[in-house]
Amino acid sequence: MHVTLQTVAEKAGVSASTASRALAGSGGVSAETTERVLQIAKELGYVPRKYHRKTKKLQTKNVVVLSNRKHHLLNNPFYSQVVSGIESVLSEHGCQLVYKTLAGDETDDPAAVEAQVAEQDGIILVGYEIDRELIRSISRRQVPFVLVDNDALDLHVNCVVNEDQAAAQRMVRHLIDLGHRRIAFLGGPAEHASFTQRYRGYLQALAEAGLDVDRDLVAFCSPRFRIDDGQRAAHELLTRARLRPTALFAANDGLAIGAVRAAQALGLDVPGDLSVAGFDDIEAARLITPPLTTVRVFKFEMGVEAGMRLIHIMRGTVNKPLKLVLPTEIVYRESTAKP
């Protein structure tokens, strides 16, 4: 049998990113879980991939991981795993990491920020809220940098993103294949490129199936898109709709978990009365009742790829910007069923 990281993760009852961090010893995993993952990997004869096997260590470089304060990088269930991937690569190559967050408002001093980043050997900018003018400024200063979860649209820069639209389309198609025809959508801020792509995937799947879009079944959470935001939006959607949906697709797992709570608070059974699907496959997705059907995003691997790309840029081996689109996979759990 061919043993993969996913095989080890499933056997250990953890996500692939958690298993990867445990095997790499990069932190963020309990001692008990790490021991279990290592033991299972040993029993199965799994040999972890060495992302850095083809590159030599750099001389010590100063790299800043820059984000908007809204993310709270190390506590966010999505971005904390991205950061772990970044750390696993850059620390192995002798880079000194510094974390800097922006307020994302008028209190940020653009000149001060630019001066600070100009002194770095490399920069990884995480998330969609990074100001486009700051990206342009960094590019003009020719400081090596990579964007994560942000393609900056027309700026033609090095970035690592997910196949958001295609993955969302597949998820909605799954709901349609189950027999659902009234499918709601719960999204986030329009300026968030990933959410916009996921909404387009939803629309595309409906169009391909010949289904009309009922605007009563579409809601957006802005500026926040956490569990409680999803719960409020889903409650409003489910109570205002003339004909209640039989399924709901949320643009991230936090919103989906909120939708499950809203449905249950209204006395609806999930998935008996309402199927709910999410996106990202954060740790909580498999822990809620019922466990959430979702799109698995390889968050740790996003960080790894961003780190490796930055190393190649700092080495001078990159000739032109690259938009790296990572694959995803649907994880079928118990929150979706036939209507």
Residue pLDDT, tens place only, 282-328: 999 999 999 999 999 999 999 999 999 999 999 888 888 888 999 99
211 near 148, Cβ under 8 Å?
no
> Cα–chain-centroid distance for residue 297?
6
Q: 57 vs 111, which has greater pLDDT? A: 111
Q: 266 vs 36, which has greater pLDDT? A: 266
Give DSSP secondary structure letters for 76-134: STTHHHHHHHHHHHHGGGTEEEEEEEE-SSTTS-HHHHHHHHHTSSEEEEESTTS-HHH
pLDDT for 328: 92
CA 321 – CA 158 distance, rounded (Å): 5
| Residues present in the chain in total | 339
Q: What are the tens digits of pLDDT across the range 115-155?
A: 777 778 899 999 887 878 888 888 888 889 999 998 876 67
Give the start-to-end residue ranges of the domains of the chain.
5-44, 61-161+298-326, 164-297
pTM for the model: 0.78
Q: What band does 224 get if pLDDT is binned at 50, 70 and 90?
A: confident
pLDDT for 265: 98
Section 214-225 average pLDDT: 90
CA 22 – CA 283 distance, rounded (Å): 15
Tell me if domain 61-161+298-326 and domain 164-297 are identical in fold.
yes
| 282 exposure class (CB count in 10 Å sphere: 0-12, 13-18, 19+) | buried
Find the helix packing angle between 16-24 and 31-44, rounded to 10°: 90
Q: 300 vs 209, which has greater pLDDT? A: 209
Section 205-232 average pLDDT: 93
- Position 55 pLDDT exceeds 50: no
CATH topology of domain 61-161+298-326: Rossmann fold (3.40.50)
Longest dimension (CA), the chain: 64
CATH topology of domain 164-297: Rossmann fold (3.40.50)
N-term to C-term CA, the chain: 37
- Position 69 pLDDT exceeds 70: no
